[in-house]
Structure 1
């Protein structure tokens, strides 16, 4: 099971490059990074950590409802070269855990920071034990805050209650994932920085407490919350667990699992940036975090309507509602729950059940419920409702659209299972004719997903709507937004033989691309194949 596997640590670049794909000159990027690190810090790096961005083919905004998703790692990634700090003799020893972080992009300036240990003396041996850490992480769109977020998780897990102090480290960062594109550059940065601090402090090799892929996913999820994003885990799982040539079916309930699903042959993925920048940390109050609250409250209200018992302070999810409705077994730690066929069957029936989320007496049931109406629908006293659903997150809304969010989540969860089944059935059949029919059907599911994202979850925007339509007009089997939405990227399933013509047509018809050519154009629209997940290269 991939969640229990160790993080790959390579010592042979040939093997590493072979796992990454072919559309980027990986060897040149890695070599340039290592050489620049030596110029800036006066020593060779000890490690380079890599975390890819990801593209989600289908399954948007359902991971935090605990439904499965189908992302894939892309070839574009974040790389971090690192080594323990070596200071000149006249400057003395650096403080424990001190970090000097630089970025190859000149617009990002050098950052120097150090965690502050919260220490106390043991009553037994009077030695100093670190009981916790303080590291200032403003919830702002700054690259170093994602580095700090990765660092904090390592400090808390491995250096709290310990006499051992973290190693001072030099870091040099570079990336090819466009920021704010919906390709999860932020999660890739957090994963890569978490790996860098783990590697430098000896937590990836030969250590009894070395981390697994599943543990890295959970740690990275918690780390990204420190910059203000309540992630459901899809981005981190895709960045860590993906394998080449397949999308990754990731489930979160009753436990985290990840299984490769081969895509039918004859098509590639094309990512296109709308050039409307979307950053979850900046738009969270009216976007991402608001949707998290709406789906959690919607699940409680739906459970009450269906006669399902929910604890007073329990934040039940839409996936758990389905499980309890069907008296699902094997949902303890490590359990598997109901199989895909059974889950598909109940999801077909949920369209009627969610009708009960329409606000009572509303002229327009899709408009949403006021805070007061929503609180009443939950069955909780106002103070308790606030503590359970609003005290831990900032949201900005006058009406909460529980019905529309539930409608999207359940229909999208069903599309994911249909998409996966079609891929598996096609791989088993192995016929060229069936591959073409399958690609057309996969495209239809992607288009339906885009419609649901735009109309029911309202996470699309004018630019994404236009770009997905232009992609279909240019010959894509299907096209949809990918990532949180409200800007960022689209993903299109495109016939392999038509990629060059497809990119040319989209670039000529999408107005924001006017005047872009060469490298500037390839930065905003590019083909990719599913790539491998996070890894580490160790210099010897």
Structure 2
């Protein structure tokens, strides 16, 4: 499969659950949950849903916090997902002027199967009719023609539904009064634990985007001119998630949309979004374990996620200046772009993984320019502005006007060290998998080669965890303890997955040791003590790469 073909594939619309999961056998464990969702929708809204939008969570095997520097990553979809059942709601002509949001054009009644999430009713407003005090600023991701109220300071479950809706409204309903969104009823259920690092937020935004596209007929064959392929959906979902206050690099959305059930994905973002399959060793299993420390990257974005985005962007400018790489005064250049320009890479052309690894290795010794006085201590805001070579006014415009951050010192060197070494680990992980996949030697030597491959992959994962903890400071005591216990229980490699600061770990475990591994971690991780079997089954489980997002058309 070519690197461009996945992004260019159409968004799949299925009518059979077998097609969603690849086989009858694979679909059986999911059938009861899907049937329950359809039956509950019918109870609540008086009719069957027209569609069910599905978006899986993801596990990032390696490549943490480097996607927004435009370096490649290696995630895979998991079988846990977000499902949104939806159907258009008929509104009588005289009801169009009713004051209730549910009767307005595009009005939404949103409910959630989980009882802790209260039902919501909301409707989009044409931007021209929004009171001046409610206008979206340019820094809030251009609202274009429509406006939906999303409270970033007190984020609620429906904010992700609204975020998905936003992109559909502003990309497909900009033609004036003749093109109005349909009112819709929807019911959400999810099996991706929130704040676990398995990207429940991206899955929700992708599923929401798909649900509103489907219910408004934008996925029908006659609308093919809209060019709604997987790559377009990823870009739309990335843009949509920014509306809840997270400046995502695109890994979460791409893996949720583009994943293949047999492989991990090697996703690159430079010079454009591409994805290619990477077959994993058949005798290897990946076990996900939840630290039970909730990591809400929206709530803590100012101190964690968004701060790291700014630190890496400023670090890229400082490095470019030191290397003599030309950049625009108001350009938010990334590390990957600096590396490409330094290496003389042609515009719009990827130098390739082998050459990229060579250049990265050569530049690692030149990152010392990001240190203060030759030490690894952080720099103050004033020092960072001076290092950038910009005036305070221009610096604020380029790096601070569009994002909220909170810090007294900035760790430019350590963040860059992690990004460069992690980017190389991804390339080495990919090459190791490709080498063993292409092996044509005898079965005995193939088994030996695969065992060596698994050991190499495990070492890379362990190195990644150490870098995430020491250089990028996105681990936490519980994740450090859980990865240590995982290695003691037989994992070849174990690391945090997701944004970090809580959430889950992913461990590489030989297939024949998965049961004993899980049993041992259940016994030794303190937070698991006292949990019942159902709770433990949700907290730690083995997974295989799953299929990407789709829409299921419910037939009468």
TM-score normalized by the length of structure 2: 0.92
TM-superposed deviation, 1:205: 1.8
1:48 maps to 52
1:303 maps to 320
- Partners of 2:544 and 2:459 lie apart in 1 by 20
1:421 maps to 431
- Partners of 2:484 and 2:60 lie apart in 1 by 18
Report the RMSD for the aligned CA atoms in angstroms.
1.8
TM-superposed deviation, 1:90: 11
2:68 maps to 64
1:525 maps to 540
Establish whether residue 97 from structure 1 lines up as the match of residue 106 from structure 2. Answer: yes
Establish whether residue 141 from structure 1 lines up as the match of residue 170 from structure 2. Answer: no
TM-superposed deviation, 1:265: 1.1
TM-superposed deviation, 1:89: 11
TM-superposed deviation, 1:23: 9.3
* Closer/same/farther in 2, CA of residues 285 and 21 from structure 1, 3 Å limit: farther
- Partners of 2:28 and 2:304 lie apart in 1 by 33
- Partners of 1:470 and 1:52 lie apart in 2 by 28
Establish whether residue 113 from structure 1 lines up as the match of residue 141 from structure 2. Answer: no
- Partners of 2:515 and 2:27 lie apart in 1 by 13
Establish whether residue 73 from structure 1 lines up as the match of residue 77 from structure 2. Answer: yes
1:159 maps to 173
* Closer/same/farther in 2, CA of residues 230 and 21 from structure 1, 3 Å limit: farther
TM-superposed deviation, 1:517: 2.5
TM-superposed deviation, 1:19: 6.0
3-state SS of the aligned residue for 2:83?
A: strand
3-state SS of the aligned residue for 2:366?
A: helix
TM-superposed deviation, 1:88: 8.9
1:4-403 pair list within 5 angstroms: 4-18=8-22, 22=26, 25-86=29-90, 94-118=103-127, 132-139=145-152, 140-162=154-176, 163-206=178-221, 207=223, 208-329=225-346, 331-332=347-348, 336-359=349-372, 361=373, 365-403=375-413
TM-superposed deviation, 1:131: 7.2
- Partners of 2:335 and 2:18 lie apart in 1 by 45
Deviations 1:60-113 (A, max 9, x none): 000000000000000000000000014699978822100000001011111000
3-state SS of the aligned residue for 1:433?
A: helix
- Partners of 1:538 and 1:192 lie apart in 2 by 14
Gaps of 5+ in 2: 130-142, 441-445
TM-superposed deviation, 1:202: 1.0
Pick from 468, 472, 486: which aligns with 1:453? Answer: 468
- Higher mean Cα deviation, 208-217 or 130-139? 130-139
TM-superposed deviation, 1:17: 3.0
Gaps of 5+ in 1: 121-129
Deviations 1:421-453 (A, max 9, x none): 000000011511111110011000000000000
TM-superposed deviation, 1:18: 2.4
| Matched-pair contact (CA < 8 Å) for 2:20–2:27 | no
- Higher mean Cα deviation, 455-464 or 86-95? 86-95
Query: How many correspondences in the alignment?
Result: 524
